[in-house]
Structure 1
Amino acid sequence: MPLDPATRRALPWLVAVALFMQTLDGTILNTALPSMAHDLGESPLRMQSVVIAYMLTVALLIPASGWLADRFGTRRAFLAAIALFSLGSLLCALSPSLPLLVTARVVQGVGGALLMPVGRLAILRGFPREELLKVMTFVTLPGLLGPLIGPTLGGWLTEGASWHWVFLINLPVGLAGLIAARRYMPDLRPDAVSRFDLGGFVLFSCGLVLVTLALQGLGEHAIGRAVALWMLVAGLAAMVGYWLHAARTEHPLFSLALFRIPTFAIGIAGNLFSRLGTGAMPFLLPLFLQVGLGYSPSHAGMSLIPMAAGMMLCKLFAERVIERLGYRTVLVGNTVALGVMIAAFALVKPDTPYGLLLAMLAVFGVINSLQFTAMNTLTLGDLGPDTASGGNSLLSVVMQLSMSLGVAVAAALLSVFSGVTFNAGGDAVLGSFHATFVGVGLISVLAACIFLQLGRREGPAAPGTVVDEG
């Protein structure tokens, strides 16, 4: 369906603003967690459920986003996504307790799960193939500003007003998005809609939820250890059940044929385990700076700017590095460096020079960005036209899942270490953060074993084809 000139101009801006709103929300919240915990009467070290609820909801619904857009059309699905995201933001701001806040984050996550997949689908269907790279590059650029602005803005809003404004800031943007989407989002849908794999979706979703809640329960001690272990085993059984279901179903949620592509299989496994560390850091660092080092919310937020700047700087040379050294060398070496860099934050103490801390954050940002670029391109680069959609959806699910698991694992380690003194000063809280950084770093280092399975020069021919690192 050809787009009219006004829609062709406005649609990339509409999707770009939606991505910016989503990435801003993902980074602005972490700086506000200690203040939220204080107002809600909770421990700052037990606020991970606020983060996990959103990420897990997004991971669960991404597989259904394409089918929903096909069934109801891109315009209705996109309008519903903005409305739910905005409603969830309002409910978050009005929440008087942690359980209600978590519930509101689930509502917000439903909208977030549809927002970018439906917007990206409208771009793919509305623009010719020769224009896609240019348009998608434009769409993803505002998303890079979210991690740069989010922590600082979150700190300023929390300190200057209250944490409620971290969510209320989404409302005017959401209202403008609804007005623009009604005018400029095309109503694109196929002539025929395939049957949705409901059985596979239930098995896959149950597996994700049970495993994540088991890890979160172990970290928060909100449920008994026996119940958490039961949930963990049940979740793993559900995932095995999905694997068997997919092998016998003609059109499964995610085809097992994807895993016959070696670079995809290695890339997915590497994404899952190495992102446990990178997913934990946006949660750990703002808490560490405020609870461990005593920074104010605005000071903590501004301190994270070098990390986002390092991620943007890496884009200038990441492609050349991958082309010159190859995927195996880059991913094995960079994964080890990533784990070591995470563990190195265990050396940071209140008397550590501030300039050294900023330098460490900048270096971590560069390493983190190179990891994302190499992993995403390795995972998607060898997919063909018949596997690209399913492979991209599964990668998006794994990214969200691994980040939520990373937060759950980090919170569990913090809980385990919080009662133990690790430093001469007897500061158990600071010591628990130090031990957690070491533990998360070791998990990340072990992911290098997965990338060792690559051939010396194995990998897609064009590293620069990935433009979305989300």
Structure 2
Amino acid sequence: MIEDKSKLDDVMDSEAISESSHCATSNHARLIPMIVAVPMFLQSLDTSILGTALQSIASSLHVEILHLNFAITAYLLSLALFLPASGWLADRFGTRKVFCSAVAIFSLASAFCGAATSITQVVLFRIFQGLGGAMMVPVGRLILLRSIPPAQLVVAMVWFTVPGSIGRVVGPLLGGLIVTLTSWRWIFLLNVPFGVLGILLSLKFVPDSRSEKVDRFDFRGFVLMAIALSGVVFGLETAGHTFVPLTVTIVVTGLGLAAAVAYVIHSRDRVDVIIPLKIFGYKAFRAATVGGIPVRLAVGSAPVFIPVLLQVGLGFTPVQAGLMGAWLAIGAFCVRPIMRHAIHAFGFKPILIVATALTGTTFACYGLFTPNTSIYFMFVVLFIAGIANALGMISMNTMGFLGVPQNLMSKATALSTMMQQTSISFGVALCTSCLTVTAHVHGHSAERLTFRDFPATFFIVGALSLLSIVAFAQLKDEEDAEMR
């Protein structure tokens, strides 16, 4: 009897420990993702607010509104330069230390942007800001992947995207209120307190990790990769603009492409390089990064060009544009509670195909917006687009790292972020070039955009984004089932 009671007590204690462990893991899968997602919040807030305030900044600095595109993408150019080193730095100095340093650099650069008095200064400080951003997101994602068990990864990724969604929800409205009630400079200054909060929470709750064996820093590969990425991004951003001679664009782009070829030769069949290209050998990673490029063109350019369409094309005030843009983020936020169940029920492949189809269709629908379009139609389109964006981005960001071994995880996160940011840069550059060409076809400069100049841009990019369906359709059903 006593022995039976003892066994019963042992079972109950074991169940209590198991339940406690499950609760701890569950809390772990929520707390850490939300803390390391502070950079996502800062970047989302920065991008969504900046899009709403472009017209105000252009007026204040006396520049053409499309020239501010270079200020936005100077950040992306800086990301391209420094992203390749983020994985090595995290392995060498520890994830928490690098993460906190990156948030500090980003916040300080934001303060400098808020004090800028010319477009040149804004561009320079945005480059400094990109140095911090290049380490924030990939290292934050690496912390997540190393500290969360695979079984909890979908839940963690959902929570990882929550702060970014909040940033996109409050960003457009906050940006409209800021430029209406005070100076656009507060758009950048707001990043500082959030950055300090992120650093304090990270120091208290985020675990530190580093690799026991760190390869020698691949300086040659870093230089080649940086030249390749920055050359291509520079070419994308300056093509079709008059402020950079065409010959300069061609030469720099050609230099970037030559460096890319040199890096492929340098890194062939090697794992000790700054970014091993063998990571593309993992099919899920390749599908999520390379296959996801077309759909990211639309997702990445929407936060910039929807506010421009609403304000410049349709005559909305900054506050009105902010309220409209918030529906995109509200749709994205609403889908998050069902993501885990949706992936388990349907799998990655069907969700990615449906999400891409909806993203391309809704992006093309933006081209139907005119001053006479029903406001309710706009609400519905933006809300559905937000749902589609969330379905696609969470699925790609989760699926892409399944199967990648731990010793390559830091470099995989860096490579994934590089591909994502380059896609966004390409999307912004493509939309800008389309708008510039359309304006000239209509007989006026890009300084005097009307709503008639926007449809072609949204139709072209929306159609291109559908190409991702081809890549996602290549995933086999048994592979999808295994990832689930």
TM-score, normalised via structure 2 length: 0.84
Deviations 1:131-168 (A, max 9, x none): 87776655543232111111111111111101101011
1:201 maps to: 222
2:323 maps to: 302
- C-alpha separation in 1, matches of 2:244 and 2:63: 17
CA distance change for structure 1 residues 11 and 31 in 2, over 3 Å: closer, same or farther?
Answer: same
2:13 maps to: none
CA distance change for structure 1 residues 145 and 54 in 2, over 3 Å: closer, same or farther?
Answer: same
1:395 maps to: 416
- C-alpha separation in 1, matches of 2:474 and 2:366: 29
1:459 maps to: 480
Amino acid at match of 1:398: M
Amino acid at match of 2:243: A
Contact preservation (8 Å) 2:75, 2:130: yes
Contact preservation (8 Å) 2:352, 2:392: yes
Question: 1:271 aligned to 292, 317, 326, which one?
Answer: 292
Quick check: 1:159 aligned with 2:152?
no
2:364 maps to: 343
- C-alpha separation in 1, matches of 2:51 and 2:432: 13
Amino acid at match of 2:286: A
Quick check: 1:288 aligned with 2:314?
no
Contact preservation (8 Å) 1:420, 1:432: no
Deviations 1:442-466 (A, max 9, x none): 2212333333433355425345xxx
- C-alpha separation in 1, matches of 2:155 and 2:400: 21
- C-alpha separation in 1, matches of 2:441 and 2:173: 32
Aligned 1:137-156 pairs, distance under 5 A: 138-156=159-177
Contact preservation (8 Å) 1:156, 1:298: yes
Amino acid at match of 1:421: H
Quick check: 1:374 aligned with 2:413?
no
1:409 maps to: 430
- 406-415 or 248-257, which deviates more: 248-257
CA distance change for structure 1 residues 159 and 260 in 2, over 3 Å: closer, same or farther?
Answer: same
- C-alpha separation in 2, matches of 1:14 and 1:208: 29
Contact preservation (8 Å) 2:137, 2:417: no
Quick check: 1:171 aligned with 2:192?
yes
Deviations 1:322-372 (A, max 9, x none): 555554444344423322221111111001111111111001111222222
1:467 maps to: none
Contact preservation (8 Å) 1:382, 1:460: no
1:468 maps to: none
1:466 maps to: none
Quick check: 1:447 aligned with 2:468?
yes
Quick check: 1:433 aligned with 2:454?
yes
CA distance change for structure 1 residues 59 and 209 in 2, over 3 Å: closer, same or farther?
Answer: closer
- 251-260 or 350-359, which deviates more: 251-260
1:243 maps to: 264
Contact preservation (8 Å) 1:56, 1:400: no
Question: 2:75 aligned to 28, 49, 54, which one?
Answer: 54
SS at match of 2:454: helix
- 277-286 or 140-149, which deviates more: 140-149
Deviations 1:389-410 (A, max 9, x none): 4333321211111111111111
CA distance change for structure 1 residues 75 and 453 in 2, over 3 Å: closer, same or farther?
Answer: closer
2:12 maps to: none
Q: CA deviation at 1:90?
A: 1.3
Q: CA deviation at 1:184?
A: 6.2
Is the radius of gyration larger for structure 1 or structure 2? Answer: 2
Contact preservation (8 Å) 1:46, 1:411: no
Question: 1:315 aligned to 324, 331, 336, which one?
Answer: 336
Amino acid at match of 2:460: G
Aligned 1:184-199 pairs, distance under 5 A: 188-199=209-220
- C-alpha separation in 2, matches of 1:180 and 1:108: 21
Contact preservation (8 Å) 1:263, 1:379: yes
1:64 maps to: 85
Quick check: 1:89 aligned with 2:110?
yes
Amino acid at match of 1:453: Q
CA distance change for structure 1 residues 354 and 93 in 2, over 3 Å: closer, same or farther?
Answer: same
- C-alpha separation in 1, matches of 2:165 and 2:231: 32
Q: CA deviation at 1:276?
A: 1.2
Q: CA deviation at 1:321?
A: 4.6
SS at match of 1:37: helix
CA distance change for structure 1 residues 25 and 41 in 2, over 3 Å: closer, same or farther?
Answer: same
Q: CA deviation at 1:200?
A: 1.6
1:212 maps to: 233
- C-alpha separation in 1, matches of 2:338 and 2:95: 36
CA distance change for structure 1 residues 415 and 13 in 2, over 3 Å: closer, same or farther?
Answer: closer
Contact preservation (8 Å) 2:154, 2:398: no
CA distance change for structure 1 residues 32 and 351 in 2, over 3 Å: closer, same or farther?
Answer: same
Amino acid at match of 2:132: G
Contact preservation (8 Å) 1:419, 1:428: no
Contact preservation (8 Å) 1:271, 1:398: no
Deviations 1:38-60 (A, max 9, x none): 11111122221122122232343
Contact preservation (8 Å) 2:83, 2:135: yes
SS at match of 2:404: coil
Amino acid at match of 1:174: G
1:258 maps to: 279
- C-alpha separation in 2, matches of 1:460 and 1:176: 40
Deviations 1:220-242 (A, max 9, x none): 22222233233333322221221
- 61-70 or 123-132, which deviates more: 123-132
Amino acid at match of 1:224: P
Contact preservation (8 Å) 2:288, 2:396: yes
TM-score, normalised via structure 1 length: 0.86
Contact preservation (8 Å) 1:61, 1:110: yes
- C-alpha separation in 1, matches of 2:278 and 2:200: 42
- C-alpha separation in 1, matches of 2:147 and 2:386: 34
Instruction: Give the percent of matched residue pairs that are identical in Structure 1 and Structure 2.
Output: 36
1:33 maps to: 54
Quick check: 1:114 aligned with 2:165?
no
- C-alpha separation in 2, matches of 1:400 and 1:360: 25
- C-alpha separation in 2, matches of 1:446 and 1:367: 16
SS at match of 1:315: helix
Amino acid at match of 1:20: F
